[in-house]
Amino acid sequence: MKQALTRPLTLSAVLAVLGGLAAYLALAGAGAAHEGVAVVQVARPVLAGQRLTTADLELRNIPVSAASPDAARTIEEVVGRYATLPMLKGETLLMQKTSDRVPGSNLASLIPPGCVAVSVAVSDVVSTGRFIAPGDRVDVLGVTSKDAADRAEIVLRDVMVLAVANELIGGEAPAQAERTSGRPNPRSLDATVTLALSVADAQRLVQVDEIGKLRLALRSRGEDAAVLSRCQSSP
């Protein structure tokens, strides 16, 4: 009889311990979510090609749900690296926006994953004067003629500019080797804008370029995640 009474008591004790443990874990998880996670943010504006120092960076706590998997978590891991794109104060620093070598050493190193680089002659483009710079993002407008009337449409949105004339992101001239070697360049890079495009967008741009004129509209600077997402999702 005594043994029979002991079994329910033992089971109740085990359940109580398990319940307490579950409550503790739930509270611990809630506390961690409330505290957030530390990420590296930009403490002052950073230019493309700039070598990052401790003065450029700061640690901030943000909600776990808002933290990008690519966000830098410690200042030490990014100090000494180079910014491949301009960054604004307060922006969370993503590792994909940095490089361990000087940007602009070659064009291929600047092309985002899944993208291709396409150059358009400035003679075919009426841009916003000379205000477009490497690292900016633009909308591409196509102007075609039909039945003696011009028609304009937005061909591509939020396109990254890799190079303008002889200047790459980071400030290096991509045509340096051609100029020093003395070999002729049939299409001078002094008259081109190079864009990072998905394969599908590149095909569309070339088609419009063949039948009409292209214009570039400068966009305000901000997150460039849409650029990478579009390139990586393209077949």
Q: Give the class (CATH, top level) of 37-99.
A: alpha beta
Question: 123: buried, middle or exposed (CB in 10 Å: 19+, 13-18, 0-12)?
Answer: exposed
- Which pTM was predicted? 0.46
Give the tens place of pLDDT for each residue, 109-162: 778 888 888 888 654 444 455 567 888 888 888 887 766 567 778 999 999 888
List strand residue ranges (DSSP E) for 67-191, in order.
82-83, 98-99, 116-121, 125-126, 137-146, 149-164, 167-168
Give the pLDDT confidence score for residue 8 in this predicted structure: 55
Phi-psi map region of 9: left, alpha, beta (phi>0 left; psi -120 to 50 alpha): alpha
Annotated domain spans of the chain: 37-99, 107-233
Give the tens place of pLDDT for each residue, 53-81: 999 999 999 998 888 889 999 999 999 99
